[in-house]
Amino acid sequence: MSLAKYKQKRDFTQTTEPVAGKASGKKHIFVIQRHHASRLHYDFRLEVDGVLKSWAVPKGPSMNPEDKRLAMEVEDHPYDYKDFEGTIPKGNYGAGTVYIWDKGTFELLRPDGGHFDKEALKEIKSGDLKIVMKGKKLRGEFALVKMKGRDENAWLLIKHRDKYAVAEYNSEDYTPEKVKALGTKAKEEMKKTGKKKARL
């Protein structure tokens, strides 16, 4: 998969975001990053075909099946982004603080015995990706469904009803207070000085 769009948006002399990376294991990883940029959101990333397919989830993921979270598909990110935390400096794309909120592995809910990446890409292309997540916070079955009649990048992230489902869920309740405070502080500092001082 191409990372051209990802690289075009970034100045790697200013940001410490990774340029590339290569998967080393047989299991496919996922990472959820809390991104306190101009607007707080959560980046939902799944390893498929050597890159991280990515969606921005404004309200954060939920373990409540009643919550159909808007998920805006964005450019593919390099594999090494799974470990990225820190502050993207003011003036750069996505300026703000990034915190790894959850990570783990995932499987396809309905594998047909074929090649994992080909199957996953086929489901993404069809606008109906169903997975089983094995993280610390996100567990069990989820669906990413492309919305019809809306922006071409608009999807919904939905928790299936399984043994991990709950009645109420707010991703911010599972974010450390120091991370929330640091993100707010860094944002205020960038507004005042334009300098990067805060670090996770």
Which pLDDT tens digit goes with each residue over 88-121? 999 999 999 999 999 999 999 988 778 999 999 9
Between strands 69-78 and 86-88, the pairing is: unpaired
pLDDT confidence of residue 186: 65
Nearest residue to 76 via CA among 48, 98, 101: 48
User: Which ranges of the chain have pLDDT less than 50?
Assistant: 195-200
Residue corresponding to tokens 């499987």:
107
What are the φ/ψ torsions at residue 4 (nearest 5 degrees)? -60, -45
What pLDDT is attached to residue 139? Answer: 98
Structure tokens at 90: 């003011």
Model pLDDT, residue 86 = 93
pLDDT of residue 198: 46
What's the pLDDT score for residue 197? 45
Reduce the DSSP state of residue 84 to 3 states and report it: coil
